[in-house]
Every structure is written in structure tokens, then in C-alpha cells.
Amino acid sequence: MTLHDAVEVILAKRDGATLSDSQIDWVIDAYTRGEVADEQMSALAMAILLNGMDRAEIARWTGAMIASGERMDFGSLSRPTADKHSTGGVGDKITLPLAPLVAACGVAVPQLSGRGLGHTGGTLDKLEAIPGWRAALSNDEMLAQLESVGAVICAAGDGLAPADKKLYALRDVTGTVEAIPLIASSIMSKKIAEGTGALVLDVKVGTGAFMKDLDKARELAETMVALGTDAGVRTVALLTDMSTPLGLTAGNAIEVAESVEVLAGGGPADVVELTLALAREMLAGAGVTDVDPADVLASGRAMDAWRAMISAQGGDPSAKLPVARESHVVAAPSTGVLTRLDAMAVGLAAWRLGAGRARKEDPVQAGAGVVWHARPGDQVTEGQPLLTLLTDEPARFDRALASLEGGYDVAPAGTPYTPTPLVLDRIG
């Protein structure tokens, strides 16, 4: 490997140069081994945020992150594989009904998921509300469960893209989280190393999303689709609205309960719509075109797959879910039409109630969160429950209520309301 030093690479990107393949390979490898210091990588990350990277640079950066660890291989499975990644939102419990639904349609789903940080919920935190369920599986356990059940939702092992693990933690504390080349390479290095055959990206747009702006979200989606395609993974992205939270709940146990409702044939219309839209994309990516996921959902087979998936990871799908000790009702301020419920306000409230964490090591409350009793477009009556706040610690209510101030609008009865489409665009 060509010899480089960190200052040379930082100066090149600071001055707007294109990094060479050998510079990228060297800096990722050296940082993973501890030879490049955190403050040097911080400077490089800021230079990338300010000056960007071209497609070839991002592809090489992603490849170097993949090369820092192991690659998984699902070639031995008796069915094709497809995975989905969401960039994170509020009330976004879609992975929970989606993985068993796609498995019930004949495609294996190796879903490596994460924990929540800040106002966005984490899939693993939600599932850990189920008594006995465990997130940590060995590669052999994962492979065996994919063959027998068809779906697994678990934590990524330490061996997968270890460079990303270090860089992700650094970006979080250096103001470089928003750099599109770094977001795209972070997500795609893990997904490509995971070895799935097809990948569907759910890129959220709006107040409760990482990307508030449609153009920026489209740029991120196009970058990730190009990375996946270049690596031989059939990749598409849906841009989906996250100005209003998904479903009727944001929390951990309450989102599990809502997901089970969807698997039972009910649940909120938007959660069902997005679950089916992503399922159709995953099946198409895996080459399965003769199965309608809506029929499979109605048949109860997806619920069977859910119960098998939870049981296989030590959970009891029939167990009662944890319930928060305290609740507080927010009443509708007037009679009329709910025209806005802001996803960020709801996400912050759920976080402050104990459903999320400020630092990776913080614990979360299984029962905490927010339930909303109306969605934008619904008629409400003054004094009726609009939101219910849930927590084990009543001292948390004041800060949660503060985050909801200005987070919803009720217009006079008869005010016309035009909903935003849930799926805004498709890339790929």
C-alpha cells in the first residue's frame, strides 16, 4: 500500500481535491487501526462535509469501509434475500410488520437494525420491549433462522464495517452527521457487507426526518442507489413523507402493539400502505413477482412468520407488553379539523418521556411514548383527548409538553385539508 500521512489527505480534501484510491484506502485502514487520530479524522470529515465527494470517491470510500471487516454470504439459503433500510423517523415501526410479511411471501429478510438516538426510534429498542427477545445473534444463528423462519431482525455484529462504527460515533460529536457522502457510505457499507441480494431504501423527508429538504433527500437516495448498483446489489429508494408521524404511536412497546395490529389485518392505514409499498419493492428486487403481499397479509401467514421470528430469538409473542406507570392527556384546544401534527414535536416528546436516548449508553423505557387520537384531516372536538403521554417518571411530563407546544394546528370546522402523499418519489 502506498504510504500516505493524515495531514496530506486532510489538506487535499480541504483544498477541494479529489482523493485518490490509495489515499482513501490508506486513511480508512489507518483510522480503523488507530494510526490516524480522532481529531485528524474529524478534520477530514469536516472537509468532506464542506467540499463533497464525487461518485467514484464515495464508491471507493464505501469499499474501503466494507474491506475493514467481514462480509456475510447468504448464497447457501434456499430462497432469495432482500433487505430494507429506513433513514429514521417518528412512529416508523415499518420493519416490524414488513420483515415477516416479506418472509411469508417467500423471500428471506436479513434485517440488521440499530438503536434509537435522539428523536428517532430504534427497531431493536422496540423489539426489546417483548419479554425474552434478544438482539444479539451469531452469524450461524442468523443463517439458521433465515432458512427456518425466513426473517431475522438483529444487531449488526462487530465484524461488519468496523471503520463505520468508529466514524459514526465521531460524526455524531463533530457536527458532520449531515455530510451526504458520509451518510451514504455509512448506510451502504453495512448493507453491502451484509450480503443481501436486493435492497430497498426508505429515505424520509420532512420535519421529523434527517433530511428536511426534498432535493437533499433525493441527492442522498440517488447516491445510495448508485453505490448499491455499482456493488451488484439491486437497489431502489422510495422518498417518503415524515412531516407527520407514522401511525398513531411513537415509543417502544406501543409501536410493537400497533405492528401486531397491522399483522392481524388492522392497524393505521398509512402504516399498512407503506408496509405494502416497501414489500412490493423488496419482492420485485428479489425476482418474486407472482405474489401480492396484500393477500398474504390478509391470509394471516405474515402473523405466523412474526410469531416464529420472535420465538426464534427467545421472545414470547403472546406475552403482555410493558405498560407505562403514568399517563397525561393533552386535550384538543378547539373544535374543528386537525390540519397539522408535527413529527419532530412528537418525536421529541416521546424521547423526553423516556422512549429514546441522548447518548448510546442511556437506557430506554419500554412503556414510554406518545399516542395520538387523531391524524391530520380528522375532525376533533374541544376537550377531547388529542394526545396521551406515557412514562414511568411523571417529572418528565413538563419537558415533553414543552416540546409539543406549537406542534399541532386545529383549524375551524369545514376548513379544507389536502393530505401529502406518503410516497413522494421512487429512485432506481
Q: Just list the catalytic residues.
A: 85, 164, 171, 186, 190
User: d(Cα 246, Cα 237) in Å, to the nearest integer?
Assistant: 18
Query: 240, 305, 308, 239: which is closest to 270 by C-alpha?
Result: 240
3-state SS, the chain, equals CCCCCHHHHHHHHHCCCCCCHHHHHHHHHHHHHCCCCHHHHHHHHHHHHHHCCCHHHHHHHHHHHHHCCCCCCCCCCCCCEEEEEECCCCCCCCHHHHHHHHHHCCCEEEEEECCCECCECCHHHHHCCCCCCCCCCCHHHHHHHHHHCCEEEEECCCCCCHHHHHHHHHHHCCCCCCCHHHHHHHHHHHHHHHCCCEEEEEEEECCCCCECCHHHHHHHHHHHHHHHHHCCCEEEEEEEECCCCCCCEEECHHHHHHHHHHHCCCCCHHHHHHHHHHHHHHHHHCCCCCCCHHHHHHHCHHHHHHHHHHHHCCCCCCCCCCCCCEEEEEECCCCEEEEEECHHHHHHHHHHHHHCCCCCCCCCCCCCEEEECCCCCCEECCCCEEEEEEECCHHHHHHHHHHHCCCEEEECCCCCCCCCCCEEEEEC
Phi, psi dihedral angles at 143 (to 5 degrees): -65, -45
Query: 88, 85, 101: which is closest to 275 by C-alpha?
Result: 101
Q: Which residues pair with 427 in a beta bridge?
A: 237
User: d(Cα 181, Cα 238) in Å, to the nearest integer?
Assistant: 19
Question: Among all chains, which residue has been given the C-alpha cell 401467514?
Answer: 301
Q: Give the chain's end-to-end CA distance (angstroms, integer).
A: 35
